[in-house]
Structure 1
Amino acid sequence: MATRKRVESWVVTDEFWRRVEPLIPVRERPADKEYLRKAGAGRPPKPARQVFEAIVFVLRTGCQWKALPKERFGSASAVHKRFLEWEAAGVFEAIWKAGLAEYDQMEGIAWRWQSIDGAMFKAPLAQEAVGRNPTGRGKGSKRHLLVDGRGVPLSRVATGANEHDVTQLDAALQAIVVKRKRPSQRRSKHLCADGGYRGRRALQIIESHGYIPHVVDRSKAVDAKRRDPTKRARRWGVEVCHSWFNRFRKLLVRYEKLERSFVALNHIAAAIIAFRKVSLKINIIYG
């Protein structure tokens, strides 16, 4: 009996690459700049797919950029340079938007019941969007997520670990990367949050964005679960989404110094989560 060849979890499939390739900018020489070498001379640039797969390898395995396998991806510095170029061009956020657009078309974004929460993680080398971790020693960062009813991320805000969740509530609600289509019939939308979003000001912000707030303390949620084991808090979506993000090892502990680099990696992870919610063969796993 023939055995199936094991495919690594960071390999970019053809279906996934067909979605990504149109969003990759083509490198062109500036017309107003003089060059000593003729066009086409020198070492040819790395194929875009090879570079993107190297970026996914770093995101999935958590290895350092300079530790990229040279025999497969070539120069690590060249890969990182292209990564920064694509980040500046907004490529990774565009991939996230494309994933959400296809997810909305195939499954439909579950707008009615959304949930929001923040999660802290260590950031020993970070220089931006970092603060003292209030629950332990050292520096840390925090990821604030707004997700739909199935746990797919709709917005993401990065801050220092010492920023309270409620201070980023308005920013997270404004940072939704896709616009909601006007529904055929008017339906209410709900926002579920834990006790960290209590207070008059937080409720005013939630209501100003058109949500019906559902702020429940964790202790009350535990009591309700004890009374009815089959009951699942509607806030589960954001909790499981944070878990999915942490399965990308480069995001579990932040070693990126610059905020822009760390945000770009989060955008790729969010895109993969969105694409995996549709019937698309993506080998990259997060669970």
Structure 2
Amino acid sequence: MMSIKRYELTDVQWNQIKNLFPEYHTGRPPKSNRIMFNAVLWIARSGAAWRDLPKERYGSWKTVYSRFCLWRDTGLLESLFITLNYEADYENLSIDSTVVTAHQQSAGAKKGGLNSVISQHIGKSSGGHTTKIHVIVDGLGNPLYFQLSGGNLHDSVLAIEVLQHVEIQGSNVIGDRAYGSLDIRTYVTNHDATYTIPPKKNTKEPWTVDWWLYKERHLVECFFNKLKHFRHIATRYDKLATSYLAFVYIAAIFLLTK
């Protein structure tokens, strides 16, 4: 037992994931995974810089950052996220995206690295520099898949690529008018799924929509609301897209264990 402070996992939450962490070997007694995870969670929730991490509670910020990089680069955080989705409800799947402002501190990533060709998923438009988080949530409003893009890309551009990462057979895909293109609807039906997507107002051959079922799309909006309670996600400070996505997984793990 340990005292629980703000922004930290409860005992119930920690018990759901504690056995999924590999052993960490160093030349000195390592900090426990729970302390390290809570430290990263504190950064995610507060939006503070790494150097502002409370040392008396979590130790050196450099140690925490090193552990975070290890979890990010080995795919552990994504693995935890996937494992927690073993009871997902695939009856209705909602797809959508949200745009977040990229802070000026997110600029300056080294050229030639991963995602450098696509500017670390930071796009420029009339709204400034932004990143877009694409997500699919299940019938309970829990996230199944995340993907980043520049904020200037239209939702329909990546819709099929996003859907390809989730088994949609037998499901009903719910989306707003941005996902109503023929290519997207054809992809859904070709995979033995149905869709609830309203046609645009200027569509020449509109299709019928179950507006009552369409109300289920509120689940994805509610999820974005919860996600943006994490200030490190509501505003992007990370130079690397992989780091920013890792924080999205951190938030999702916290929400899935509640």
Q: Could you tell me how far 1:174 is from its partner in structure 2?
A: 2.1
Q: What corresponds to 1:17 in structure 2?
A: 14
Q: Between Structure 1 and Structure 2, whose CA radius of gyration is higher?
A: 1
Counterpart for residue 62 of structure 2: 77
CA contact (8 A) 2:24 2:30 kept: no
- The structural deviation recorded for 1:175 is 2.3
Unaligned runs of 5+ in 2: 110-119, 202-211
Residues 92-107 of structure 1 mapped to structure 2, 5 A cutoff: 92-101=77-86, 104=87
Aligned-pair CA distance for 1:273: 2.1
Seen in structure 2, the aligned counterparts of structure 1 residues 133 and 270 have a Cα distance that, compared at 3 Å, is farther
Q: What is the TM-score when the length of structure 1 is the normalising length?
A: 0.74
% same residue? 29
Q: Report the CA distance between 1:50 and its aligned residue.
A: 1.2
User: Offset of 1:14 from its aligned partner?
Assistant: 2.2
Q: Report whether the alignment pairs 1:152 with 2:142.
A: yes
Equivalent residue, structure 2, for 1:115: 94
Give the distance between the partners of 1:218 and 1:95, measured in 2 at CA.
Answer: 38
Aligned length: 233
* Structure 2 CA distance for aligned equivalents of residues 175 and 18 of structure 1: 28
After TM superposition, the structure 1 = structure 2 runs for residues 117-196 of structure 1, keeping only pairs within 5 Å, are 117-124=96-103, 125-126=106-107, 127=109, 128-134=120-126, 136=127, 138-176=128-166, 188-196=170-178
Task: After superposing the two structures, state which structure 1 stretch, 74-83 or 165-174, moved more.
Answer: 165-174
- 2:177·2:200 contact (CA, 8 Å) conserved in 1? yes
Q: CA contact under 8 A between 1:129 and 1:259: conserved in structure 2?
A: yes
Query: Structure 1 94/159 Cα, relative in aligned 2: closer, same or farther at 3 Å?
Result: same
Residue matched to 2:189: 207
Number of the residue aligned with 2:44: 59
Q: Which runs of 5+ in 1 are unaligned?
A: 1-5, 30-39, 181-186, 220-229, 277-287
- The CA distance in 2 between the partners of 1:270 and 1:130, in whole Å, is 21
Could you tell me which residue of structure 1 aligns to residue 117 of structure 2? Answer: none
Larger deviation, residues 123-132 vs 81-90: 123-132
Q: Deviations over 1:101-148 (max 9, x none)?
A: 2xx1xxxx32111111111110121551110144x1x21000011111
CA contact (8 A) 2:47 2:231 kept: yes
SS in 2 for 1:8: coil
Distance in 2 separating the partners of 1:263 and 1:231: 31
2:255 to 273, 280, 285: 273
Measured in 2, the distance between the counterparts of 1:200 and 1:232 equals 19
TM-score (norm 2): 0.82
SS in 2 for 1:233: helix
Contact 2:81 2:249 (C-alpha < 8 Å) held by counterparts: yes
Distance 2:170 2:82 in 1: 24
Distance (Å, rounded) in 2 between the aligned partners of 1:54 and 1:249: 15
* Distance apart, 1:97 and its partner CA: 1.8
Q: Secondary structure at the residue paired with 1:18?
A: helix
* Deviation for aligned residue 1:234: 2.0
**Deviation for aligned residue 1:274:** 2.0
Task: Tell me the secondary structure at the aligned position of residue 142 of structure 1.
Answer: strand
8 Å CA contact 1:110–1:150 kept in 2: the answer is yes
Q: Which amino acid aligns with 1:25?
A: P
1:41-60 equivalence runs, <5 A = 43-60=28-45
Aligned-pair CA distance for 1:61: 1.4
1-structure distance, mates of 2:132, 2:140: 22
1:258 aligns with 2:240: yes
CA distance in 1, matches of 2:6, 2:134: 26
